[in-house]
Amino acid sequence: MIKEKLFHPALQEQYYVATHKSGLKIYICEKPNFSGAYAVFGTKYGSIDNAFRISEQSDYTIVPEGIAHFLEHKLFESEDGDAFARYAKTGASANAYTSFDRTCYLFSCTDRFDESFEILLDFVQHPYFTQATVEKEQGIIGQEISMYDDSPDWVVLFNALESLYHNNPVRINIAGTAQTIAKIDAELLYQCYNTFYNLQNMFIVVCGNVEADHILTMCDRYLKDTPTVAVETMPYNEPYHVACDYKEQIMPVSIPQFIWGIKLDTTGHLPLSTRTELSMLLAVLFGQQSPFYNRLLDEGLINKGFGASLFEGRNYACILFSGESVDPETVVNRIKTAFEQAKTSGIDPQEFELIRRQFYGSYIMAFNNVEGIGDALTDCACDGSGLFDEANIIENMTPNNLDRHLQQTIDIERSALSVIKPVS
């Protein structure tokens, strides 16, 4: 494999990107002075990928909601035992997660990296599903779904997404429902695995006290030959307007919880520049140092759990304001007023510069943590950006970039409010 070295002279940081013969991308950041290492083996397959076909098929396959998450759970099992038991022998801390647009298997360790990395490359490439183990897992994940259904944080989020989107599958619960996972069998799991766990759709990230050439040698040794699979997910028509503008649910909470979302347009991922600019705009207008935040905090309309963030991935994007409030509707009206005032007055240059410096500082600090670097490289693998792109974006950003989004990107009419109210 030929590896490309990418170096940032101002940061004095570097990393490597290599392409395996299968098409799989490998990202490596050597940190020889660090004591530990972190590795990720991931696939660009998540909960939104419920309808798909491969190149030689004319019809789309529609699979049960929650199957990507179910597959993640089952992949740790093999005929010889459980991957977690194997990791216990090396002392590594292992985990996995399924999000809307990716599934990742990962571990961190302070020694015996090669043994742990071999385990990762092995179990992710060798699925083992039987109907008996699938039925056992249905009960386990069914209990997990019940826990999600009882979580106000989870419920308020998906009520917001269901309100914002008509057809985008991001509105579907990542874990599915008890009814949908009951339809999953071993054959469906193998079909999804063979479709999305082909190496061309996957990536590897390694950072820490490792050597790039050694990592690439191990990948050459353990990555198996797989046929190229061209996957197409089913297109859907997502209307411009929201599905509904308000959704309320009663749950045992002490203070009403809310999420107010603003729907954005995207095909694929939002460009990194847009993501960075929108995140900075939210920090300037609504962050903990903003007059807005402190004014509402003093008035008792919000508490320190209030936040504004960009929520985006492959083919979905929205801005979410979340928190607890005795009067969520008033908070939303105040947010709308803040947007309108900012459109008229523009972004304050001094407040912008303060936030811009904070963003740059946080970006630099991330290089002091192997998990931080690894997660950033995972994002790069999924959206095609480079690890140093954000530094250049932050350095060259001006208030005009944020003003442009106020005028052109954000339409507060495309919004929905989700509220969890206490039992009366």
* Distance in angstroms (rounded) separating the CA atoms of residues 58 and 143: 37
Q: How far is CA 272 from the centre of its chain?
A: 14
**72 catalytic, yes or no?**
yes
Residues 6+ apart with CB under 8 A from 71: 103, 189, 192, 193
Which H or E run contains 263? strand 257-263
Closest CA to 219 of 117, 87, 106, 126: 117
Using DSSP's 3-state secondary structure scheme, residue 8 falls into: strand
- Residue 223, CA distances (Å) to 24, 45, 126, 261, 276 in order: 10, 19, 11, 42, 35
Q: For residue 259, give both structure tokens.
A: 């999420």
3-state SS class at 311: strand
DSSP at 66: T
**β-pairing verdict for 202-208 and 25-30:** parallel
> Which residue in 72, 77, 137, 162 is the catalytic one?
72
- Distance (Å, rounded) from C-alpha 121 to C-alpha 117? 6
Could you tell me which of 173, 243, 277 has the C-alpha nearest to residue 417? Answer: 243
Closest Cα to residue 64, out of 172, 197, 196, 203? 172
Active site residues: 72
